[in-house]
Amino acid sequence: MRKIKEVMRLRFELQLGYQQISRSCAIASSTVHKYLKRAEAAGLSWPLPEGWNEDRVEAAIFPRSVPLAPQRPAKRAAPDYATIHEQLRTHRHVTLQLLWEEYRQANPDGYRYSRFCELYQRWRSKLDVVLRQEYKAGEKLFVDWAGATIPVHDPTTGRSWDAPLFVAALGASSYTFAIAMRDQQMEAWLRAHGKAFEYCGGIPALVIPDNAKTGVSKAHRYDPDLNPTYYNFALHCGFGIVPARPYKPRDKAKVENAVQVAERWIVAALRNRKFFSLDELNQAIGELLSKLNQRPFRKREGSRASVFEAVDKPALKPLPSEPFDLSEWTRARVNIDYHVAFDSSLYSVPYNLVHELVEIRSTAITVEILHKGVRVASHVRSRQRGQTITNAEHRPKSHLAHLEWTPSRMIHWAEAIGPNTARLFERILSDKPHPEMGYRGCLGIIRLAGKYSSQRVEAAAERALLTGACRYKSVESILRNSIDRVPPASPPPAATPPHDNIRGSEYFE
């Protein structure tokens, strides 16, 4: 599927270069150039009119009949690669597209754009690798979780838990930000980004994350799948996401170095202090962070803070006027018990959605479940693992009726037949390790009343209580053999107890 709209957004809204758009969209630079040239020829402008989807944009810029490209001339003037490289380094908004157009104005028979870029990249690859690590003002913010954690102690129980450290660094100035979070889940990931943007006072053009699940749903060298929640956050704030390639630490060397610096000057400096809350820990981190950014460079003039004020800060975009709706989206299939699994807990949905694929939107308080864009369930989010949250309205009627079976309800049904039947039910339920084990037997006796009459079942229950045969099979046998109609035999008279009263015995003799 073509990514024309995303290419236009990154080009005209974020002012990114062709190479950056190429990496973000996982397409060739020549394809980026082709999309933009065709969009210009089709008269399209950004933002697009309302209702223009990807298919309509594609149909507008890729008509059925495409004119053939002009034939390439035999000889072309070589570009001035050194001047091109210097222009790209010193001017943030200068792109290869602009430099190529200037080159073609001076050399109408010069190279086409794709060949121009190829030749420049070939020339650039022969330079010292250090030159490749120079960044434009306000362009990139590198983010990652540090490997080291800081313990936080519970003042009530005395137990401690490890707080992970989020680290961010701007490319041009190395201006560093760090904050401790509760965990490394999506909510903490986005909140840490927001705190980093507030600390810098603006939004960069690009954010370079690692391939953690909170940032990248499926890592891939050429075409990674971004986490939908993280992507929506980027759209809200107005920055692009270019994940580092898997197993390529040089793609985020800036933050790798920032993590090392933070572990040495923040984590190590706090090793002898004991913290009892996350706020207390972050206050201490903020004090050390200010000292870190003010620390002078060893091999050049200034500090991270001074370079940030002069280079990065003026180029950052303003912060969004409205806060981001911090909700997490995921998908799940409804299990046979009409529940979906989310965050180690189970949440119910209407039973007729069994085996259907649904979307789950979660916030810090609620969990909403949608099917084909329509909300079908809403629950209060559980913060305990292994919980099952069920709405009774989601159960089928047969399950609701089964749940209404309780020992007291069984005995109440038996009282409608007679007191002996009620006592028999009590005996059956009390003899079982769990009352539910006797439900089926009690229901069977109730059905016998419909077959033999309530009077006979009452008499059979009395006979069963006298003989101690308190089971469904015994009652059914009594009724089938009409034993309930036979009066019970009178118990034999009790024998006179023996005694040693000799005088008494002589008197009776």
Predicted pLDDT at 500? 54
Higher pLDDT, 75 or 66: 75
Higher pLDDT, 217 or 20: 20
User: For a pLDDT cut of 90, what percent of the chain falls above it?
Assistant: 16
Which pair of structure tokens corresponds to residue 250? 């040089």
Mean pLDDT of the chain: 82
- Residue 170 clears pLDDT 80, i.e. is over it: yes
pLDDT in tens, 26-53: 888 888 888 888 888 877 778 777 777 7
The conformation of residue 494, written as its DSSP 8-state character, comes to P
Predicted pLDDT at 172? 83
User: For a pLDDT cut of 70, what percent of the chain falls above it?
Assistant: 86
Predicted pLDDT at 203? 92
pTM for this entry: 0.48
Predicted pLDDT at 16? 85
Predicted pLDDT at 66? 47
- Mean pLDDT confidence for 60-72: 60
Residues 321 and 331: their CA atoms lie apart, in Å, by 30
- Residue 131 clears pLDDT 60, i.e. is over it: no
pLDDT in tens, 230-262: 888 888 898 888 887 776 666 667 778 888 888
* Bridge partners for 166 per DSSP: 145, 179
Residues 319 and 94: their CA atoms lie apart, in Å, by 24
Contact criterion met (CB below 8 Å) for 226 and 243: yes
Predicted pLDDT at 250? 65
Q: Is the dihedral of CA 312, 313, 318, 322 positive or negative?
A: positive
Integer angstrom CA distances of residue 318 from 202, 236, 248: 5, 12, 31
- The answer for residues whose C-beta is within 8 angstroms of residue 330's C-beta and 6 or more apart is 342, 359, 360, 362
Integer angstrom CA distances of residue 344 from 341, 383, 390, 439: 7, 9, 15, 33
- Mean pLDDT confidence for 452-460: 90
Which pair of structure tokens corresponds to residue 18? 């062709």
pLDDT in tens, 357-379: 999 988 778 899 999 888 999 99
Q: How many CA atoms lie within 13 A of 220 on its CB side?
A: 12
